[in-house]
Amino acid sequence: MMRVRLCFTKGPGVRFISHLDLLRTFERALRRAALPLALTQGYHPRPKLTFASALALGATSEAEYLDVELAAPVPLGEIVRRLNSVLPADIRVSAAGEVPAAAPPLMAIVDTALYELRPLRPLDEGQWERLGSVLAGLLREKSLLVERTTKSGTKQVNLRPLILQAEVSGDKIAMLVRSGSRGNVRPEELLALLGQEPTGWQVHRVGLFIAQDDRLRSPMEEAGVVVDGS
Reduce the DSSP state of residue 100 to 3 states and report it: coil
Residue 39's pLDDT is 86
Residues 6+ apart with CB under 8 A from 107: 50, 51, 52, 53, 180, 181
CA–CA gap between residue 91 and residue 10 (Å, rounded):
5
Quote the DSSP letter at residue 57: T
CATH architecture of the region 112-213: 2-Layer Sandwich (3.30)
Low-confidence ranges of the chain (pLDDT < 50): none
Residue 218 CA, chain-centre distance (Å), reads 12
Residue 208 buriedness (CB in 10 A; 0-12 / 13-18 / 19+): buried
CA–CA gap between residue 203 and residue 175 (Å, rounded):
11
Residue 218 buriedness (CB in 10 A; 0-12 / 13-18 / 19+): middle
In the chain, the DSSP E strands lie at 2-10, 49-51, 60-70, 91-99, 112-119, 145-150, 153-158, 163-169, 172-178, 201-212, 215-217, 226-228
Q: CATH number for 2-109+218-228: choose from 3.90.1150.10, 3.40.1190.20, 3.30.1330.40, 3.30.70.580.
A: 3.30.70.580
Tell me, yes or no, if the two domains 2-109+218-228 and 112-213 fold the same way: yes
| Helices and strands in the chain, H and E counts | 5, 12
Helix (H) or strand (E) holding 84: helix 76-86
Domain extent listing, the chain: 2-109+218-228, 112-213
CA–CA gap between residue 211 and residue 73 (Å, rounded):
30
Do residues 40 and 46 touch, judged by C-beta distance below 8 A? yes
Give me the half-sphere count of Cα atoms (radius 13 Å) on the Cβ side of residue 22: 30
